[in-house]
Chains A and B, each alone.
Chain A
Amino acid sequence: MDNCGQFEIEEKLVPPEGDHNSKRLIGPLSNYEVYQFFKETKEGNVRGPKHANANKWKYNTHLNTVTYEVLQYLQQTPCVVQSPEIIEEFLTKLHPYNLTKSERLTILNTRPLQPVDIQAIVEESEERLTESQIEEILDIVDSTLPPLNVNVEAKKNDGPQE
């Protein structure tokens, strides 16, 4: 998650692995990770404080647009009040329910509160989960993931320490 900027430069005459213009799907990112990334981008210190130079980012209008719009969107989602510890605890507690990775990710990103939300997210939920299990999942969501409503204060507490 935090390994930006830690890589090795290959000074060899052979090209790095991978064909020219190859693309490979690595895997999904949670909203929280993307939010953190763009928050750092916005502050201009994504490569560490020694390279912090706001001007570098200023002239890339596309990146600025993306940063602004994604933050606008994500600031209204529950990811702003999450933290790696919360997410880990949440995923551990969710482990016994045999949900797929994408289902857990969606639950994490959307923080469902109603049984119907779970039924929409989980495929064939009638067969895979009993009603009491759905209630348990909702309890886990409610107890581990902080609600969005308090995020205004939380964000303010979060802000100055950066």
Chain B
Amino acid sequence: MSSATEINEKLELARQLVIHLEAGDSAAADSTIERLSADRECTLFREIGRLTRDLHEAINGFLLDARIGELVEREIPDASERLNYVITMTEKAANTSLAAVETSLPLAQELGNRAGSLAGDWSRFQQRDLSVEEFRVLSSELAGFLQTARGHSAELHSKLSEVLMAQDFQDLTGQVIRQVIKLIRDVEDKLVRLIRISGSKVAPADHANTKPMGPVIPGLDQGEVVSGQDDVDDLLSSLGF
């Protein structure tokens, strides 16, 4: 805002300009116009100068931010490695669990089958429906079964313990993923600053062509998502399945 004296000065210059023009003195008129505009340009240059300095400092500050170098050179490649480690760990845990289950299922099956067959013979024995010879066979089968049951139970216990221990991946991978989330936040912060410096609005990206495949993450992925197998079945039956 111009102060009262500035306005008076300008008014005085304007009056002089009229006088010079009326007198036909074009040289004096030009010099008055220059004096009038000089003041204005001065303010404009000052403003441009200030903006330039701000921009320069902001860019310098951004470039000198040691975190960025660190982020690009070390932490992002490091994060990729860490995420690969998460894949390795989860895969290993899944394979350990699956192997234990694959060993355990036939053991449980065998116990069930033999117990079922023995239960039949045993109830015949209780109904006194067994010959001495049959009882001798049953007795030896029973002894064998008890031996097997003992062994299988120990084996099942050890396999279940393996499954239990394999779950430790959750803790470790959880920590790694948390570190990577923090890194992404850091990068996001730097990018936001960069956008602020450039001062321009970033046009929203076209999401249609970049839609990620894979599991839908609740609360993140948009679009019509079915809420479970029942929804899938309803949708398919509405399509004539």
Q: Do A and B bind each other?
A: no
Residues on B facing A (Cβ under 8 Å): none
